[in-house]
Amino acid sequence: MENPHWGRLDRAASTWRLGSSRVWIRVRDDEWEVASTHVDDDQDPDAHTTTIDHTGPTDAPEEIVWTRFVTTLDDEVSTRPGLPDRPVVVRPASPMVLLPGRWGRFFFRVPLWTMLISNASGRELVMSEIPSKALKSIWFGSIAGGELCYAIEAPLERSVEDLEVDRSFAICEVTVRNSSRERLHFERICVHVEYMSLFDGGDRLWTNEVRVTFKGSEQVSQLSFLPGPPHSVSGAQRVAPSRLPPESDLIKRSFALIREITGI
């Protein structure tokens, strides 16, 4: 992995900063001790500084709780990026409208999680998962039949260049096609990131490309996860697998229609 932020950790103590998460790691014999916290984005100007420092966890708050992982003396612990463990709901500042028969390409950022991986037994064991940003929960869909997701307050950009380069986020490209005879007027879009892998495209990390086909407000939308990142990202290498086995076509209700939200 070319990215210096991910990979094998030395047995020396480390301090890890990704997004608003702060992680401290120290090693004692066959134990890896991990502590983490989140800083308030508004109060810390360096909230989104991504660094890894091997000078030692000297700045760990005294009251922080350390979790001790018992491994083996020759264990190798590494970090890799991961995606959230629940679907994410993107809430753009203003509602989007797609006219019948039209399609649009949208980009948004998904906060990454730091996955601490133990390789002691010859296979990857996830020791700890630390979100780079404290995400708020949101319920998507009807009260009885919806699902618990994370809310992402982020713009749905039309161009990836409009998204700030930040190693604590992955870029997700969603192509929405309105194949119905009605206007697609949505202000939420739910993306099942648990079916997605991560790809290193150089300066940014990418998820699988997603295609959503809207067939009408009375029908569920069809989601397709393409096997790799968007075609425009050349030479990207897969750096993290999906949490759940990828499904090429997934029928999920993807849009929260204005009608559903407002009752109009």
Partner 1 sequence: MGSVLENIDLSALLSPETLRSVGAVALRAAVGLVALRLVVMIVRRILRRRTTAQVSMLVTKAISYVGLAAIAAIVLLEFGVNLGPLLGAAGIVGLAVGVASQASLSNMISGLFLVSEKPFSVGDAIRAGDTLGIVESIDLLSVKIRTFDNLFVRVPNEKLASAELINITRYPVRRLDIKFVVPFETDIEALFEILGTIAKSDAACLQEPAPFMVPDTFVDHGVRIHFGVWFAKDDFIAVKTSIYSAVISRLREAGIRFAMPRRELHQPEHADLLAPGELTSRESE
Q: Does 151 bind partner 1 (CB under 8 A)?
A: yes
For residue 43, the minimal CB distance to partner 1 (Å) is 13
Q: Does 144 bind partner 1 (CB under 8 A)?
A: yes
Indicate the residue among 46 and 153 with the shorter CB distance to partner 1.
153
Is residue 247 classed exposed, middle or buried when 0-12, 13-18 and 19+ CB atoms within 10 A define those classes?
middle
How many residues bind partner 1, per CB under 8 A? 13
Q: For residue 47, which amino acid is it?
A: A
- For 119-153, b/e burial (b = at least 16 CB within 10 A) is eeeeeeeebbebbbbebeebebbeeeeeeebbbbe
| 28 contacts: CB under 8 Å, gap ≥ 6 | none
For residue 111, the minimal CB distance to partner 1 (Å) is 15
* Secondary structure percentages of the chain, helix, strand, coil, to 5: 5, 45, 50
Q: Does 41 bind partner 1 (CB under 8 A)?
A: no
Give one DSSP letter per residue of 179-234, joined into a string. Answer: -SSS-EEEEEEEE-GGG--EEE-SSSEEE--EEEEE--TTSPEEEEE-SSS-TTST
Q: Does 139 bind partner 1 (CB under 8 A)?
A: yes
For residue 86, the minimal CB distance to partner 1 (Å) is 10
Nearest-10 Cα torsion for 23, 28, 31, 32: 20
Q: Does 67 bind partner 1 (CB under 8 A)?
A: no
Query: What does the alpha-carbon distance between residue 215 and residue 211 come to, in Å, rounded to a whole number?
Result: 13
Q: Does 182 bind partner 1 (CB under 8 A)?
A: no
* The binder of partner 1 chosen from 136, 165, 251, 259 (CB under 8 A): 136
For residue 46, the minimal CB distance to partner 1 (Å) is 22
Q: Candidates 24-32, 73-81, 134-142, 221-229: pick the segment binding partner 1 (CB under 8 A).
A: 134-142
Binding flags for partner 1, 199-218, as an x/- string (CB under 8 A): --------------------
Q: Does 259 bind partner 1 (CB under 8 A)?
A: no
Q: Does 143 bind partner 1 (CB under 8 A)?
A: yes
What is the maximum alpha-carbon separation in the chain? 65
For residue 136, the minimal CB distance to partner 1 (Å) is 5
CB 39 within 8 A of CB 131: no
CB 190 within 8 A of CB 88: yes
* The binder of partner 1 chosen from 12, 73, 99, 148 (CB under 8 A): 148
Q: Candidates 4-12, 147-155, 189-197, 213-221: pick the segment binding partner 1 (CB under 8 A).
A: 147-155
Q: Does 39 bind partner 1 (CB under 8 A)?
A: no
Binding flags for partner 1, 68-107, as an x/- string (CB under 8 A): ---------------------x------------------
**Cα dihedral across residues 153, 156, 160, 161: positive or negative:** negative
Residues that bind partner 1 (CB under 8 A): 89, 134, 136-140, 143-144, 146-148, 151
